[in-house]
Amino acid sequence: MTYLVLARKWRPKRFAELVGQKHVVRALVNGIETGRLHHAFLFTGTRGVGKTTIARILAKALNCERGVSTDPCGVCSSCVDIDAGRFVDLMEIDAASRSKVDETRDLLDSVIYAPGRGRYKVYLIDEVHMLSTASFNALLKTLEEPPPHVKFLLATTDPQKVPVTVLSRCLQFSLKRLERGEISGQMRHILDAEGIAYEPAGIDALARAADGSLRDGLSLLDQALAFGGGSVRSDDVASMLGTIDRDALLGIARALVAGDGLALRSELERVAAMGVGYGGVLVEMMRLWHDVAARQVLGESIESDLLDVATLAEFAAALAPETVQVYYQMTLLARRDLDFSPDHRTGFDMAMLRLLAFRPEGAPQAPRSAARTTATPAPRPVETAREPAKAAPPTPVASASRSDDSPLATRWFDALERADLRGPARELAALLKPIEQNGERWILALAPHLDAVNTDLARRGLEEGIRRVLGANASIDIQRSKAGGETFGERASRQTQARHSAAEAALLADPVAGALMNELGAKPVPGSLKLN
């Protein structure tokens, strides 16, 4: 008994039957209807998205016995022979197995001859990027100026390896990955036509696993039918793909949201007993966080393949948006680092424990009863990380002196801030201390050892800046003196240090930072915090 796989049995034979790729179909249909067809086409895209299928349909459209048409009849001898792969004027070449220059030259020797049966002689070269450099060079001249009865249809999954000299001689069409809905819709259509029973959840799982390739999806569908004894059930699909079922995934997510360590431990044991692939579980969890984040940001119109409406709304309300973003990123990193862990279960368990440690502020505290059964004390909860004693106190700035908040100093410092000084004037202003104000004349003190900055250029720039702020009659008198108080530079340094101290205190009070210090032994580096 001969069985024809679904990918071959249901291969589209007309443009109207193609799934997706509407942008390519539109361009080809318009070209056929207007008679503006190029002599060379390059179809690019990942595996199983329709490159060679579109090329064969185009060959039928050009050679159908009823005339050149966007809808070939499919019943004439030319259409039937093209579908069967025996049409004499359609040469299908696998460049991976015929990459030598001699083989390419032999092929091109037949270009000059007229077609035997059809209107056009069509050369379909699959995986054209596998041709050797010499083969591409042999192809170039013919590709640029072929006889009017020849069409070249090239297909590749790696257009970057095709020389630009070839690309410039072709019309290039980039075929997109198919959406999950397009793949699952085609699967349902096929199963309905075949009279095969299926569960929608199983079809959705197969569509996700297809990763944008309809051919891969139909191959998985064939495998699921064999695995399930002629039907498609979600449990069978999960077992076949090694993915986690929906209930187990929701159990882990609910334990994480609730901060319930005992429940999480139970769910991890349940997942381990299933024998699933932990990489696939992390991928499914990333999809869950994605759907929750989309619901939070884009509103109630967002739906999920994994979660029903009520559960999606529950998670969206229970977690802060920034927490969901952190969860997604941590799950993504866990998937990337899974192969570096001692074993996949250890890596997965550690990832879930890390998510539990970074639960949002105010979430219920995980039960500690399991820890109390041992002789060692229970670890401190995350909230204790707010105690600033964990960090070394910030180092004081050595140049700062006591605060000077007198009205005279306040007016002077305010004037300097608004003066927007530059260069030597700014350097001089930073070292002056206000002593007295007589009318519009300011008497300022400069330490004797700093006379080098008191230049004519600096004084002139400072006085011009002050006049822009305080009026044209304002003036300055700089005296060599060790007056008390603080300079403008010392005041700015003191304020910056105060901001650093406040920011460091806020960081130490943050629950995420506390979790890092408690769980991973992290320590803040004094003075390392950068402020904008």
Judge whether residue 399 has pLDDT over 50: no
Residue 447 in any domain: the answer is yes
Cα–Cα distance, 305 to 288 (Å, whole number): 9
- Residue 298, class by beta-carbon neighbours within 10 Å (0-12 exposed, 13-18 middle, 19+ buried)? exposed
Residue 129 in any domain: the answer is yes
Cα–Cα distance, 352 to 254 (Å, whole number): 12
Judge whether residue 393 has pLDDT over 70: no
Residue 304 in any domain: the answer is yes
pLDDT at 382: 40
Cα–Cα distance, 244 to 177 (Å, whole number): 25
pLDDT at 390: 41
DSSP assignments along 210-245, one per residue: HTT-HHHHHHHHHHHHHHTTSSB-HHHHHHHHTPPP
Residue 111 in any domain: the answer is yes
Kindly report which listed range (52-56, 72-76, 478-482) carries the lowest average pLDDT score.
Answer: 478-482
| Percent of the chain residues topping a pLDDT of 70 | 89
The whole-model pTM stands at 0.59
Judge whether residue 387 has pLDDT over 80: no
Dihedral over Cα of 410, 415, 418, 420: its sign: negative
Encoded tokens for 325: 């973003």
**358 in the same domain as 274:** yes
Judge whether residue 525 has pLDDT over 80: no
CA 171 to chain centre: 30
**119 in the same domain as 26:** yes
Domain of 480, CATH number, reads: 3.30.300.180
Domain of 91, CATH number, reads: 3.40.50.300
pLDDT at 242: 75
Q: What angle do CA 43, 49, 53 make, to 5 degrees?
A: 65
For residue 285, the 8-state DSSP code is H
Judge whether residue 375 has pLDDT over 80: no
**148 in the same domain as 23:** yes
Question: Distance of CA 63 to CAs 11, 117, 349, Å?
Answer: 19, 9, 60
**290 in the same domain as 217:** no
Q: Where are the alpha helices (DSSP H) in 299-320?
A: 309-318
Packed helices 133-144 and 101-108: angle between N→C axes, nearest 10 degrees: 20
Dihedral over Cα of 67, 70, 72, 73: its sign: negative
**111 in the same domain as 66:** yes
Taking residues 171-186, report their average pLDDT: 92
Residue 500 in any domain: the answer is no
Kindly report which listed range (135-144, 338-347, 367-376, 497-506) carries the lowest average pLDDT score.
Answer: 367-376
For residue 198, the 8-state DSSP code is B
Taking residues 125-129, report their average pLDDT: 91
Domain of 354, CATH number, reads: 1.20.272.10
Domain boundary among 149, 174, 199: 174
**164 in the same domain as 35:** yes
pLDDT at 529: 66
Judge whether residue 388 has pLDDT over 70: no
pLDDT at 348: 92
Residue 395 in any domain: the answer is no
Is residue 236 within 8 Å of 258, Cβ to Cβ?
no
Residue 505 in any domain: the answer is no
Cα–Cα distance, 529 to 510 (Å, whole number): 14
Q: Which residue has the tokens 């569908």?
A: 221
**94 in the same domain as 69:** yes
**160 in the same domain as 103:** yes
Encoded tokens for 197: 């029973």
**341 in the same domain as 469:** no
Going by pLDDT thresholds of 50, 70 and 90, the confidence category of residue 173 is very high
Return the SS3 of 116.
coil
> How high is the mean pLDDT of the chain?
83
**222 in the same domain as 192:** yes
**186 in the same domain as 167:** no
pLDDT at 397: 34
Note the pLDDT tens digit of each residue in 3-36.
889 999 999 999 999 998 999 999 999 999 998 8
Taking residues 212-238, report their average pLDDT: 90
Encoded tokens for 242: 């090694």
Cα–Cα distance, 295 to 293 (Å, whole number): 5
Residue 520 in any domain: the answer is no
Domain boundaries, position 223: 180-241
Domain boundary among 348, 369, 390: 369
Domain boundary among 241, 260, 293: 241
Judge whether residue 391 has pLDDT over 60: no
Note the pLDDT tens digit of each residue in 306-324.
788 888 888 888 888 888 9
Going by pLDDT thresholds of 50, 70 and 90, the confidence category of residue 527 is low
How many separate domains does the chain show?
4
Cα–Cα distance, 442 to 473 (Å, whole number): 11
**441 in the same domain as 359:** no
Encoded tokens for 18: 């193609």
Encoded tokens for 401: 């002196």
